[in-house]
């Protein structure tokens, strides 16, 4: 006898697995689902039994996804995201369309927010929500697309290239003339502001110097976890920051920051527009995406 039209396991097991895989924690998944960790474990064991394959590797300090578990999670996260988006569209049928865009705080402040303001002048009826965070965006149903530096090769999401930036040293304008011809060796001894980021693809000072041919010691300087904070410290003369020239162009134009020295390096990666819900994107979301993609080549940042 045929059991189910789509031959799917019970949705409760899939839901428990998706939450546990997203958090890599049965306990956190249980809190989200308002059940006990034992109930989550029971649902996942039932799913593994039905599939005949382990989805998690149980370790002393937690769990990790197996290859099959990772593949199933990517499929479920994408599918649940499309379902959630479609339900949201149905719920808001007849109401103003909402678009949610994700980015880091620096990208939002320096480029995305000004770009959205320009978009609103042409499309005043479109509601745009922004989510900012300085750690990687994981699959989430409440985001239409994300502005991301670098490409996640293991992600099934569609990445549309925006632009490739240029990396330069930036600091207060009063240092620009004094250090106009500073050597890499002398620059390395200046107080440098180092960014500690969860996103491993962001270029560091060490990588920048190495790519330019300098392998010597760098100054200890200071460390921050926010690029916006790094730029503010550089602006106040507390050190030099590694500047993404096109991204910080507004601060260069207004004289809040200046390029220090003549050394520059093309960014190893491009900025991308990453689509999280392309299958169910609204007309307004597609309009905003097209508008951003068409604006970038013209140099408006």
**What pLDDT is recorded for position 298?**
45
Give yes or no for residue 275 having a pLDDT over 50. Answer: yes
Task: Give tens-digit pLDDT for 26-58.
Answer: 999 999 999 999 999 999 999 999 999 999 998
Pairing outcome for strands 127-132 and 98-103: parallel
**Higher pLDDT pick, 263 / 159:** 263
Distance CA 115, CA 162 (A): 13
Q: Please, what sign has the CA dihedral across residues 147, 152, 153, 157?
A: negative
Residue 151 — very low, low, confident or very high, per pLDDT cuts 50/70/90? confident
**Higher pLDDT pick, 233 / 88:** 233
Q: Taking Cα atoms as reference points, which of 243, 179, 186 lies closest to residue 214?
A: 186
Task: Determine contact, residues 170/257, Cβ cutoff 8 Å.
Answer: yes
Give yes or no for residue 300 having a pLDDT over 60. Answer: no
Claim: this prediction has a pTM higher than 0.75 = no
Distance CA 131, CA 137 (A): 10
Give yes or no for residue 288 having a pLDDT over 80. Answer: yes
Give yes or no for residue 171 having a pLDDT over 50. Answer: yes
**Percent of the chain predicted with pLDDT > 90:** 55
What average pLDDT does the segment 206-211 reach?
95
Q: Which of 66-80, 85-99, 130-144, 186-200 has the lowest mean pLDDT?
A: 85-99
Task: Determine contact, residues 144/276, Cβ cutoff 8 Å.
Answer: yes
**What pLDDT is recorded for position 54?**
94
Distance CA 203, CA 154 (A): 20
* Token pair belonging to 253: 């134009």
**What pLDDT is recorded for position 295?**
80
Give yes or no for residue 125 having a pLDDT over 90. Answer: no
Contacts of residue 2, Cβ cutoff 8 Å, sequence gap at least 6: none
Distance CA 252, CA 229 (A): 16
**Higher pLDDT pick, 224 / 300:** 224
Give yes or no for residue 138 having a pLDDT over 80. Answer: no
Residue 126 — very low, low, confident or very high, per pLDDT cuts 50/70/90? confident
Chain-wide mean pLDDT for the chain? 87
Return the half-sphere exposure (C-beta side, CA atoms, 13 A cut-off) of residue 115: 24
Q: Is 186 exposed, middle or buried (0-12, 13-18, 19+ CB in 10 A)?
A: exposed
Rounded to whole angstroms, what are the CA distances from 250 to 113, 180, 223, 254? 12, 21, 24, 6
Q: What residue has token string 């050597």? A: 183
Q: Which of 4-13, 86-95, 166-175 has the lowest mean pLDDT?
A: 86-95
Residue 196 — very low, low, confident or very high, per pLDDT cuts 50/70/90? confident
Task: Give tens-digit pLDDT for 58-106.
Answer: 887 778 999 999 999 999 988 888 888 778 767 665 555 678 899 988 8
């Amino acid at each position: 006898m045929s059991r189910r039209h789509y031959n799917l396991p019970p949705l409760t097991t899939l839901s428990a697995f998706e939450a546990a895989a997203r958090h890599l924690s049965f306990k956190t998944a249980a809190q989200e689902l308002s059940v006990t960790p034992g109930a989550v474990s029971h649902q996942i064991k039932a799913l593994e039994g039905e599939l005949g394959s382990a989805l998690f590797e149980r370790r002393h300090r937690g769990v990790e996804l197996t290859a099959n578990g990772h593949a199933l999670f990517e499929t479920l996260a994408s599918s649940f995201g499309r379902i959630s988006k479609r339900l949201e569209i149905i719920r808001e049928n007849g109401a103003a369309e909402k678009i949610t865009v994700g980015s880091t705080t620096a990208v939002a402040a320096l480029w995305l927010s000004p770009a959205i303001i320009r978009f609103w002048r042409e499309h005043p009826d479109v509601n745009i929500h922004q989510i900012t965070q300085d750690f990687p965006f994981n699959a989430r149903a409440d985001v239409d697309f994300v502005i991301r530096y670098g490409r996640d090769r293991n992600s099934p999401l569609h990445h549309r290239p925006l632009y490739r930036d240029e990396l330069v040293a930036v600091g207060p304008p009063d240092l620009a003339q004094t250090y106009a011809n500073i050597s890499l060796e002398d620059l390395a001894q200046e107080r440098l502001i180092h960014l500690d980021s969860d996103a491993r693809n962001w270029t560091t000072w060490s990588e920048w110097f190495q790519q330019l041919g300098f392998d010597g010691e760098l100054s200890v300087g200071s460390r921050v976890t926010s690029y916006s904070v790094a730029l503010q410290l550089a602006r106040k003369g507390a050190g030099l920051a590694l500047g993404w020239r096109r991204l910080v162009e507004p601060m260069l134009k207004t004289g809040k920051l200046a390029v220090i020295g003549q050394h520059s390096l093309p960014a190893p990666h491009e900025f991308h527009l990453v689509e999280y819900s392309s299958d169910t994107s609204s007309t307004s979301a597609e309009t905003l995406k097209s508008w951003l993609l068409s604006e970038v080549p013209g140099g408006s940042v």
